[in-house]
Amino acid sequence: MNKGYILSRLIRSIISVLIIMVIVFILVFTLVPRNSIFAKDDGFRKLATKPDEKLEYQYNIWQKLGYLEFVRSADYFQEKYEMNSPEMKEALEPGSKAAEEFKAEFEAKGYTVETYPKSGRYFAYKDIPVLKHVGIWLTNLIKIDTPWAIKDENNPELKRGLSFGTTETGGIALIGSGSKHKYLLYTDSHFPWLHQNIIKLTFGESYPTYQGLDVMDVLVDSQGKEVKRPITYATGKEASSGIIFGTLTYKPVLDRLDKQKFEDNYANFKTQKDNPSMMGISFLMGIFAVVLSYGLGIPIGLLMAKRKDKLADKLGMAFIIFTIAVPSLAYIYLFRYLATAAFDLPNVFTTYGASDVRSWILPVISLAIPSIGSLMLWTRRYVVDQTNQDYVKFAKAKGLNQGEIFRRHILKNASIPIVHGIPASLAGCIAGAIVTESIYAVGGMGKMLPSAIQQYNNTMIVALAFIFSTVSVLSVLAGDILITKVDPRISLTEKAGRS
Amino acid sequence: MSEKEELKKTSAKAASGAKEGKKKTSYISAKDSRRITKFNRKITKKLENDREEAGKDPASYTTKMRDPNNVVEFDNMCTYFFSDVGTVKAVDGISFDVPKCSTVGVVGESGCGKSVTSLSLMQLLQRPAGQTVGGEIRLNMGDGTALNIVNTPVEKMQELRGNYISMIFQEPMTALNPVFRIGRQVNEVIELHNPEMTEEEVKARTMEMLELVGIANKEGVYEMYPHELSGGMRQRICIAIALACRPGLIIADEPTTALDVTIQAQILDLLQNLKDKINSSIMLITHDLGVVAGMADYVVVMYAGRVIEKGTADDIFHHPAHPYTIGLMKSKPVVGKKVDALYNIPGSVPNPVDMPNYCYFRDRCEMHCEHCSGKYPPEIRISDTHVVSCYRFFETGEVLGYPKTVDVEGLLNG
Ligand SMILES: Nc1ncnc2c1ncn2[C@@H]1O[C@H](COP(=O)(O)OP(=O)(O)OP(=O)(O)O)[C@@H](O)[C@H]1O
Ligand code: SF4
Ligand SMILES: [Mg+2]
């Protein structure tokens, strides 16, 4: 196998993911009318009686999401005049000389200048063209944390540097000062044991749901109730809290409570919640479903191939045709109804939450059913196909019996395409859980996607598109690497390709 | 039906050729088709049961060679396929011998039943549709006894395959398992039939075989995969596998058809040399008369599932007696060169589902005489070694007997 080839495939994968994201971004930010993003925002609706505040709120959100640049005349004059000074008051009056200057200046800069509906004051805005919007977004996509990241005018004394040390929980850490995160690298007792805060993907702020959070955090932070445990802060103060020390970030202004807990300015943190993150739930569910579908689909498919045209084969075929012909929505509802009637299982995930095995059983089976069907079909097809190959005839002529031929020769050959498909199945189960997660109210990415679309959470849509396309593209690459391990005829090389 | 009418019908059939035969078989009514399916199910079930019963009793498959100097004797063997269009009598009552340490060439045009003959000997027919329904195939076990392959149970066959009888196939490109190294594939057959050998002994034998088949870089090839070798090399590996257990008989079913001409000669030479080295016989199936002329001691000419002429290579090449063989020889150019002339005889083979009850070659025969309208000609001995099935020698030769066919309907009822 060729490392150069894999690297170039990886780069191509990244490029294709970027292209997908840019397309999704442009579609979402141009086709979704920008007024409709407020439809599900309660805070916005409360402002219905205050037209000036409402307008300002609207333009502020648009500015935050990168649609436009927004300048209030009040902010503009604040730089020129003293707060509450008579000049200031005069300037703000509609029709004043200063106000007209504001208008002339910003119109000259290409802004559109309009007036508030009630006060009649001016404000200016300039639309950001979508390509520039994409460009800004892309340059902010990857954030690298360094000791020079924090620029706090109130804290000129802030030391900048890196050192090795330990965390409050005793893990080894690369500690930053002047960086956004306190612990740039650290170990703890949680999977995957070594964590990093140096490189972060930021997709932008979530709106209108999960306001104020970066969408990536919404997807990767644990959800639910805080899990409290007895802890000791750096100051020696003991408490019961769900704090994750590894997530400590710089806080410019410390309050009294912060000072009791922390010796430095790193006082913002995330807490441990009782349910896995959306991404975690979706990945776990995908892995369980893939394990289940391979665990059942392959043995049944093998059995069907061995009993070709017999009863077992026909029953299996009936099942396959059922899962292909009937829409998954229909049989998942049917299955949920039958299973909850027959067993004491919850019909939604939220009844017992992620920590209870019972919550997982029905969603995982529902997610696995379609892949079980197709795996049965493909396994059967590959084995039957191999059975008719010349090498099987030759193996018989060597004197091997049916069992030996099946175990030694057919299985290995038939497993090649099956192994090739494993990563793609996993990707399919992670990205394809939209129906299942919605039906069972599972708090994963699959449920997030339709609700993000309904709520016009554009940033979230783009982030999900990124995750799903990354998973799919990487799974294709992983499949191609995996197949070289089982099929000696295939090698990944730049020039020859498959030989 | 009067004689005239029959003649008209058959000549019309001959004129329109193979298409007619095909058309006829594809116009089976739904009712007939159901009848055939039902019949096939019944008969194959009965045959499988009979075979299982026979396999339980060694007496039913141990027998004696007619001549202990033969490796294999085919005695009126009939192999039929119970297909959806009816019973295909692919091989119908053939008899010939493979003497020890000799090469027997089996020739005949495509579809005449050469491969079916060899597969019957290996019991590799596609069962349950393909069945050897009559006759005997006697395999000399070398200790005075013989096995009747027709009734031998599968477990016993597995001991014989690759060990007493080996087979080399036409397609070396696909005969080897693509995902295993060459060494492992040769080792496999040696281990299977010599469980007492240690790993080192097995490997040593494999190396010896690789050397025997003329592989220069044997250590390297041992570790290679089939796709890393050329077609000729792969066929050498197949030969190494086939000969690894020193079988008494090697069946080579068109072993060189897929290879180019220069390689063909090398592979055939190799086979011939190795055969002498390990004292085995070769049953060489081919279209190519040139190959047969160069290698074979005896020749069997098949036509439409029957042997129509057999004898020494000299008999067949220099004194062909059957009009079909004569036709073949006429179109044969210099010995050693490949010919595709087998197809140059006008007319075509009768439909195997519905064979006529007179000489199968009559509709294409330029020499037919008055006897020829009668039933299928018997085997007639015209010299010590030369036997032909043709009425032209009815008066002069010694009539040995008629090929036996099997009445499948009767098989079911009695
Ligand atoms: N599986 C099968 N089912 C039905 N009929 C079959 C089957 N295999 C062979 N036959 C029939 O048996 C006849 C003889 O086939 P066979 O393969 O022995 O011919 P061949 O002499 O080896 O021809 P070729 O030179 O093309 O290899 C054919 O006419 C074919 O119709
Ligand atoms: S038996 Fe008659 S028809 Fe048949 S080959 Fe001989 S001469 Fe021709
Ligand atoms: Mg053949």
At A430-473, the pLDDT tens digits run 887 888 999 999 989 999 999 999 988 989 999 999 999 999 99
Q: What is the pLDDT of residues A37-96, one digit of tens each?
A: 888 888 888 888 888 899 999 999 999 888 999 998 888 888 878 777 888 888 878 778
pTM over 0.90: no
Percent of chain A with pLDDT over 70: 98
**Rounded Cα distance, B331 and B236, in Å:** 32
Q: Which atom of ligand 2 is nearest to the CA of B360?
A: 4
CATH 1.10.3720.10 domain locations along chain A: 278-486
Q: Which of A321-335, A384-398, B221-235 has the lowest mean pLDDT?
A: A321-335
Q: Do A399 and B158 touch (CB under 8 A)?
A: yes
Is B189 near chain A, with CB under 8 Å?
Answer: yes
Is B241 near chain A, with CB under 8 Å?
Answer: yes
- pLDDT grade for B239, boundaries at 50, 70 and 90: very high
Quickly count helices (H) and strands (E) in chain B: 14, 14
- pLDDT grade for B15, boundaries at 50, 70 and 90: very low
Select from B301, B306, B309, B361 the residue to mutate for testing ligand 2; criterion: most ligand atoms less than 8 Å from CB. B361
State the nearest Cα–Cα gap between B228 and chain A, in angstroms.
9
Residues of A in contact with B225 (CB under 8 A): 488-489
Give mean pLDDT, residues B169-182.
91
**Rounded Cα distance, B160 and A170, in Å:** 70
**CB A223 within 8 Å of CB A276:** yes
Task: Look up residue A228 and give its two tokens.
Answer: 């409290």
Q: Whose CA is nearest to atom 8 of ligand 2?
A: B368
**Rounded Cα distance, A422 and A420, in Å:** 6
Model confidence at B311: pLDDT above 90: yes
Give mean pLDDT, residues B122-127.
90
Of A396, A397, A488, the CB nearest to B225: A488
**CB B412 within 8 Å of CB B46:** yes
Query: B39-158+248-336+357-413 — its CATH code?
Result: 3.40.50.300
Of B155, B166, B177, the CB nearest to A409: B177
How far, in Å, is the centroid of ligand 3 from the Cα of B253? 7
For testing contact with chain B, the best of A384, A385, A387, A391 (most B CBs within 10 A): A391
Cis upstream peptide for A450 (omega within 30°) = no
Tell me the residue ranges of DSSP E strands in A233-372.
Answer: 238-241, 243-250, 266-271, 273-275
Q: What is the mean pLDDT of chain B?
A: 86
3-state secondary structure of A283: helix
**Rounded Cα distance, A233 and A241, in Å:** 10
Ligand positioned closest to the Cα atom of B91 = 1
With CA atoms as reference, the chain A residue closest to B157 would be A399
Q: What is the pLDDT of residues B363-391, one digit of tens each?
A: 888 888 888 888 899 999 999 999 999 99
Q: Which atom of ligand 1 is nearest to the CA of B287?
A: 25
The topology (CATH level 3) of A278-486 is MetI-like fold (1.10.3720)
Q: Which atom of ligand 2 is nearest to the CA of B308?
A: 5
Give mean pLDDT, residues B60-77.
92
* Cross-strand pairs, A14: none
Q: Do A488 and B124 touch (CB under 8 A)?
A: no
Check if B306 has its Cβ closer than 6 Å to any atom of ligand 1.
no
B246: left (phi over 0), alpha (psi -120 to 50) or beta: left
Is B360 near chain A, with CB under 8 Å?
Answer: no
Q: What is the pLDDT of residue A212?
A: 84
Percent of chain A with pLDDT over 90: 44
Strands B281-286 and B387-388: unpaired
Residues of A in contact with B224 (CB under 8 A): none
* Cross-strand pairs, B21: none
Task: Look up residue B224 and give its two tokens.
Answer: 């290679």
- pLDDT grade for B338, boundaries at 50, 70 and 90: low
Give mean pLDDT, residues B308-331.
90
B279: left (phi over 0), alpha (psi -120 to 50) or beta: left
For testing contact with chain B, the best of A394, A396, A405 (most B CBs within 10 A): A394
Check if B377 has its Cβ closer than 6 Å to any atom of ligand 2.
yes
**Rounded Cα distance, A433 and A425, in Å:** 12
Model confidence at B178: pLDDT above 60: yes
**Rounded Cα distance, B90 and A297, in Å:** 40
Of B161, B177, B180, the CB nearest to A399: B161
- pLDDT grade for B414, boundaries at 50, 70 and 90: low
From first CA to last CA, the distance across chain A in angstroms is: 12
**Rounded Cα distance, A437 and A447, in Å:** 5
The conformation of residue B344, written as its DSSP 8-state character, comes to -
**Rounded Cα distance, A59 and A46, in Å:** 16
**Rounded Cα distance, B118 and B116, in Å:** 5
Q: Which of A238-242, A310-314, B52-56, B347-351 has the lowest mean pLDDT?
A: B347-351
Interface of B with A in 118-137 (CB under 8 A): 122, 124
Sign of CA dihedral B93, B97, B98, B104: negative
3-state secondary structure of A33: coil
Select from B309, B358, B367, B376 the residue to mutate for testing ligand 2; criterion: most ligand atoms less than 8 Å from CB. B367
Task: Look up residue A321 and give its two tokens.
Answer: 């045709």
Residue type, B171: E
3-state secondary structure of A127: strand
Model confidence at B207: pLDDT above 90: yes
Q: Do A391 and B175 touch (CB under 8 A)?
A: yes
Q: What is the pLDDT of residue A494?
A: 53
Residues of A in contact with B227 (CB under 8 A): 488-489, 499
Q: What is the pLDDT of residue B342?
A: 46
Ligand positioned closest to the Cα atom of B112 = 1
Q: What is the pLDDT of residues A300-324, one digit of tens each?
A: 999 999 988 889 999 999 999 998 8
Is B354 near chain A, with CB under 8 Å?
Answer: no
- pLDDT grade for B332, boundaries at 50, 70 and 90: low
Residue type, A364: V
Q: Do B174 and A487 touch (CB under 8 A)?
A: no
**Rounded Cα distance, A292 and A373, in Å:** 12
With CA atoms as reference, the chain A residue closest to B186 would be A398
Q: Do A396 and B124 touch (CB under 8 A)?
A: yes
